[in-house]
Amino acid sequence: MARKKKTGDDKKTVFTPELDKTIKKGGAAISKILKSDPDGRCIRDLIEYHLREIDDGTRDDLAMALALAFDEVVEQTIALSLFTNDPLVLAEYERVGMPDRVLAFLRYLVSLYGARAEDAAICLEHPDGLKQTHFAANYDETGTPRSITMKLTRADNDSIIITDEPDSYLFLVYQLLGQLAGIEPPDAPDTSIKDALDSIGGKVDDRVRDGARDSIKDGIKEHKS
């Protein structure tokens, strides 16, 4: 429902004319709701209820509930800003002329529920996808880093924790870069990402080669002894 508009060498996301009309209607409808319910409590209660627990049905359930409780244009206006959790969407709302009071209310909704709503959208689109990563170095009594603990959290909030030596992670990164290199880039790839991957790939490749040489040397020493 959104498209890309070129401005010189830059690109920015703007809404289609059809979506512009929907958002304007949604803004007007939400404005009427706020006249009788200044805090928007009826909307907030509905959102809070459906975001208490997140699974792959949460996004659709909340969208349907908003449409049933209010109407489709209200649902689309609220859902788009919530599930994207992107300030650019709210900037587009401002561009189409949404009333200030409604825009402030939607900003408040996104600040309250945007992160969880985005989790719900990710859980629907990629139920087995990666939601969050966390890494921590583990040090011995001398302050020397000896291992790394990695925690991977899935979209459904299941997680796995792995603690291993740095070299094990080094080979993991090496394998991941190999897989990424085999994926066809989009039509207009972000060169900054490509440059970063090239830089990291070069460092990892050198480190892996050095590690392999050291392993061979250690193996020779053990064989001789």
Greatest mean pLDDT among 11-15, 162-166, 183-187, 217-221: 162-166
Is 58's pLDDT higher than 70? yes
Q: How far apart are CA 149 and CA 96, in angstroms?
A: 47
Is 218's pLDDT higher than 60? no
Give me the pLDDT at residue 24, please: 93
Q: Which residues, other chains included, contact 157 with Cβ-Cβ below 8 Å and sequence gap of 6+? A: 54, 131
Yes or no: say if 54 and 157 are a contact pair by the CB < 8 Å rule. yes
- Note the pLDDT tens digit of each residue in 115-156: 888 888 888 888 778 878 899 999 989 888 889 999 998 877
Q: How far apart are CA 216 and CA 159, in angstroms?
A: 36
Task: Specify the higher pLDDT residue, 167 or 75.
Answer: 75
- Note the pLDDT tens digit of each residue in 92-105: 999 999 999 999 99
Give me the pLDDT at residue 2, please: 46
pTM over 0.75: no
Give me the pLDDT at residue 183, please: 72
* % of the chain residues with pLDDT over 90: 42
SS3 sequence of the chain: CEEEEEECCEEEEEECHHHHHHHHHHHHHHHHHHHHCCCCHHHHHHHHHHCCCCCCCHHHHHHHHHHHHCCHHHHHHHHHHHHHCCHHHHHHHHHCCCCHHHHHHHHHHHHHHHHHHHHHHHHHHCCCCEEEEEEEEEECCCCCEEEEEEEEEECCCCEEEEEECHHHHHHHHHHHHHHHHCCCCCCCCCHHHHHHHHHHHHHHHHHHHHHHHHHHHHHHHHHHC
Task: Specify the higher pLDDT residue, 64 or 202.
Answer: 64
Is 3's pLDDT higher than 50? no
